[in-house]
């Protein structure tokens, strides 16, 4: 892997959903999820001067929670008016400790925080668009105003919120890198015997997303 020099005028680190709710002991634990925190902290200290974070931020009884749908179990799929939706355990509930940015995350370079999933009737995985594929979080406009051209993504979960953020970032013309040691995935089984981490990786690769490691980056 060739080395990548971070350009502090055009590059930004995106820290996706680094929240206790997605870690061991949380409501929707991503296997080994807490391992992303030290990797991201090193990037925030020594590589990127500019970063945004996303925060999954659901009201109680959010429509993506299986508990809202009698007879349904977490991780089942349900048809919503905006398309298929995986049902989740209750998680990332506004104003609870699990929904805070992780207390060990160094926020000193995090200048933008996008909260998503706060509309009760629609889920939102991506930092850019809600799951209807249309409703904007506003992040695209902020990044364009800031002349950002390349996005480096880390956080949780690799196969859901990181993957959807990467897809939309490509669609909006950003060059996208996923920092492999800075992400962890949920890994739900898929009908063809693979899992959602493998499928997301393959799809993002096809879209031109580059997969790197944090030590491929030169910063300051
Ligand atoms: C996420 C499922 C539900 C994520 C958020 O951060 O990847 N996944 N809400
Ligand atoms: Zn969520």
| Interface predicted TM-score (ipTM) over 0.95 | yes
Ligand 1 near 93 CB (within 6 A): no
Average pLDDT, the chain: 97
With 0-12 / 13-18 / 19 or more C-beta atoms within 10 angstroms meaning exposed / middle / buried, residue 170 is middle
**Domain 4-59+91-218 part of CATH 3.40.1190.20:** no
- Mutational test site, ligand 1, from 88, 102, 124, 130, max ligand atoms within 8 Å of CB: 88
| Residue of 56, 116, 123, 140 marked active site | 116
Which ligand 1 atom is at minimum distance from the Cα of 22? 6
Q: How far apart are CA 160 and CA 54, in angstroms?
A: 13
Nearest to 99 by CA among 91, 107, 89: 91
SS3 per residue for 73-108: CCCCEEEECCEEEECECCCCECCCHHHCCCCCCCCC
41 band by pLDDT with thresholds 50, 70 and 90: very high
> What tens digit of pLDDT does each residue of 120-171 get?
999 999 999 999 999 999 999 999 999 999 999 999 999 999 999 999 999 9
Extents of the domains making up the chain: 4-59+91-218
The answer, yes or no, to whether residue 86 has pLDDT greater than 70, is yes
> What are the tokens at 145?
């105003």
Q: How far apart are CA 154 and CA 17, in angstroms?
A: 9
The answer, yes or no, to whether residue 75 has pLDDT greater than 80, is yes
pTM of the entire predicted model: 0.97
96 band by pLDDT with thresholds 50, 70 and 90: very high
pLDDT at 1: 59
């Amino acid at each position: 892997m060739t080395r990548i020099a971070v350009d502090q005028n055009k590059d930004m680190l995106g820290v996706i959903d680094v929240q206790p709710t997605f870690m061991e002991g949380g409501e929707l634990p991503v296997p080994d999820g807490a391992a992303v925190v030290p990797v991201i902290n090193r990037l925030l200290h020594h590589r990127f001067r500019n970063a945004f974070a996303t925060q999954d931020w659901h009201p109680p009884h959010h429509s993506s929670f299986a508990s809202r749908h009698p007879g349904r179990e977490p991780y089942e799929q349900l048809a919503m008016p905006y398309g298929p939706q995986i049902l989740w355990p209750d998680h990332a509930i506004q104003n609870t400790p699990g929904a805070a940015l992780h207390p060990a995350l160094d926020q000193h370079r995090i200048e933008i925080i996008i909260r998503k999933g706060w509309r009760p009737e629609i889920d939102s995985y991506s930092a850019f668009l809600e799951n209807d594929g249309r409703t904007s979080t506003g992040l695209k406009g902020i990044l364009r105003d800031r002349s950002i051209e390349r996005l480096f993504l880390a956080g949780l979960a690799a196969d859901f919120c990181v993957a959807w953020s990467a897809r939309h970032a490509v669609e909006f013309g950003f060059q996208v890198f996923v920092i492999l040691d800075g992400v962890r995935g949920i890994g739900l089984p898929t009908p063809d015997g693979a899992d959602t981490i493998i499928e997301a990786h393959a799809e993002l690769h096809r879209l031109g997303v580059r997969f790197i490691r944090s030590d491929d980056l030169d910063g300051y």
